[in-house]
Amino acid sequence: MTELPASVVAPLGAIIAACITGTISFIGLVISKEQKTSEFRQAWIDALRADLSEFASQARRLAHERTPFDIRRLTGSLFEQMDAEKEEILRPDPLLVNRQRFAQTYYSLRLRLNPDEDDHRQLLAHLEKTLQILSESAESERPDQVAVELDATAHVARAVLGEPLYRLSLGIAAGLTIAFGVVIGIVVVVGLSQAYGGN
């Protein structure tokens, strides 16, 4: 086996060192990027969970709401009926804060979800169905209907929060990074074997 001249070994060593350094830097860059993406994704998941739990809590509270009714509006004299109606108008709404928080959470969820993705679209449909039940169903049917709809919402939310496709993409990225490192290693080994075997 012939020895490589010193004028070839030094540049070849520098090229190999640069390839190895580049591969390590690339792998480190990919890992840090994925780590930052994971941090942002975890923050999004935490905020979505908080919004979903607030939505469910307020929906259940509003489902049990009953419209207050003063019997004097039906049985009293005209003056009593007018007084009862006036008192009802002036009476503060005890669930106003709940309604406001429910509306805020509903719109926060709508803005957080992407209607172009199937799981997100299904979750949005369940949120809208819950809103429809609260605004259109009879008071006696509301609690049960809302409970069923919120269970369905929770089932779909698990798919959105887990996002199997996201995990698959992380696996593909890791696989491509490893494949890139292997290809660089093979090129270096083949180049060295040709350099040693060619002379």
Q: Which domain holds residue 186?
A: 6-198
Q: Are 198 and 41 in contact (CB under 8 A)?
A: no
How many domains does the structure of the chain reveal? 1
24-30 contact pairs (CB < 8 A, 24+) = 26/177, 26/180, 27/177, 27/181, 30/173, 30/174, 30/177
What is the value of pTM for the model shown? 0.60
pLDDT recorded at residue 2: 60
| Distance (Å, whole) CA 25 – CA 50 | 38
pLDDT recorded at residue 48: 92
pLDDT in tens, the chain (199 residues): 566 666 666 677 777 778 778 877 887 887 788 778 778 888 888 999 999 999 999 999 888 877 655 555 556 677 776 776 777 666 666 677 888 898 999 999 999 999 998 989 999 999 999 999 988 888 788 889 999 999 999 988 988 887 655 566 666 766 777 777 777 777 767 766 666 655 5
And the tokens for 154?
């929770």
Domain for residue 131, yes or no? yes
Domain for residue 1, yes or no? no
